[in-house]
Amino acid sequence: MTKGPRDKQISIDDVVGELKDGMTIGIGGWGPRRKPMALVRAILRSDLKDLTIVSWGGADVGLLARAGKIRKLVYAFVSLDSVPLEPNFQKARQEGTIPELVELDEGMFQTGLRAAAQRLPFLPMRAGLGSDVLVNQPWIKTVTSPYADGEELVAVPALHLDVALVHLNRADQHGNATYLGPDPFFDDLFCMAADRAYVSVEQVVDTAGLTVDTPVQRLLLSRMMVSGVVEAPNGAHFTTCTPDYERDEKFQRAYAAAASGSDEDWAAFSARFLEGDEASYQAAVAAFKEEQA
Amino acid sequence: MSSATETVTLADVCAAAIADSFKDDGEIFASPMGLLPMLGVRLAKLTSNPDLVISDGESLFLAGVPPLFAKGDVVEGWIPFRKVFDVVAYGKRHVMMGATQVDKHGNQNISAIGDWAQPKRQLLGSRGAPGNTVNNRTSYWVPKHSGRVFVERVDIVSGVGPKLAKEAGPAAARYNDIHRIVSNLGVFDVKGADDSVRLLSVHPGVTVDEVREATGFELDVPADVPTTREPTTEELVLIREMLDPKGLRFKEVPHDG
Using one digit for the tens of pLDDT, what is the confidence trace for A86-118? 999 999 999 999 999 999 999 999 999 999 999
Distance from CA of B9 to the nearest CA of A (A): 27
Distance from CA of B112 to the nearest CA of A (A): 10
- Tell me the average pLDDT across A18-43: 98
- Tell me the average pLDDT across A266-283: 97
- Tell me the average pLDDT across B192-216: 98
Q: Look over chain A and give the mean of its residue pLDDT values, rounded to a whole number.
A: 97
- Rounded to two decimals, the ipTM of the complex is 0.95
In the predicted structure, residue B19 carries a pLDDT above the cut 60: yes
CB contact under 8 A, B131 and A104: no
Residue of A nearest to B86 (CA): A107
Output the pLDDT for position B5. 52
- Tell me the average pLDDT across B99-108: 98
Put simply, whether A79 touches B (Cβ < 8 Å) is: yes
CB contact under 8 A, A93 and B169: no
* Start-end of H helices in A118-166: 132-136
In the predicted structure, residue B1 carries a pLDDT above the cut 50: no
- Tell me the average pLDDT across B112-118: 96
Question: A–B: how many Cβ contacts below 8 A?
Answer: 138
Question: Which of B125, B167, B172 lies at the smallest CB-CB distance from A103?
Answer: B125
Question: Which of B89, B125, B168 lies at the smallest CB-CB distance from A130?
Answer: B168
Which is nearest to B156 in space by CA: B118, B189, B183, B182? Answer: B118
In the predicted structure, residue B4 carries a pLDDT above the cut 50: no
Q: What is the pLDDT of residues B42-62, one digit of tens each?
A: 999 999 999 999 999 899 999
Residue B63 to residue A202: CA distance in whole angstroms: 32
Percent pLDDT > 70 in chain B is 97
Output the pLDDT for position B152. 98
Please identify among residues 128-167 of chain B the ones whose CB lies closer than 8 Å to any CB of chain A: 128-131, 133-135, 156-160, 164-165, 167
CB contact under 8 A, A107 and B128: yes
Residue B256 to residue B43: CA distance in whole angstroms: 23
- Tell me the average pLDDT across B65-79: 92
Q: What is the pLDDT of residues B158-177, one digit of tens each?
A: 999 999 999 999 999 999 99
- Tell me the average pLDDT across A121-137: 98
pLDDT confidence tier of residue B154, bands split at 50, 70 and 90: very high
CB contact under 8 A, A186 and B126: no
Output the pLDDT for position A2. 75
Q: Which chain B residues are within 8 Å of A30, Cβ to Cβ?
A: 81
CB contact under 8 A, A85 and B176: no
Which is nearest to B249 in space by CA: B72, B2, B68, B54? Answer: B68
Instruction: List A182's β-bridge partners, or say none.
Output: none
Put simply, whether B1 touches A (Cβ < 8 Å) is: no
pLDDT confidence tier of residue B257, bands split at 50, 70 and 90: very low
Put simply, whether A30 touches B (Cβ < 8 Å) is: yes
Put simply, whether A186 touches B (Cβ < 8 Å) is: yes
pTM: 0.96
CB contact under 8 A, A130 and B130: yes
pLDDT confidence tier of residue B2, bands split at 50, 70 and 90: very low
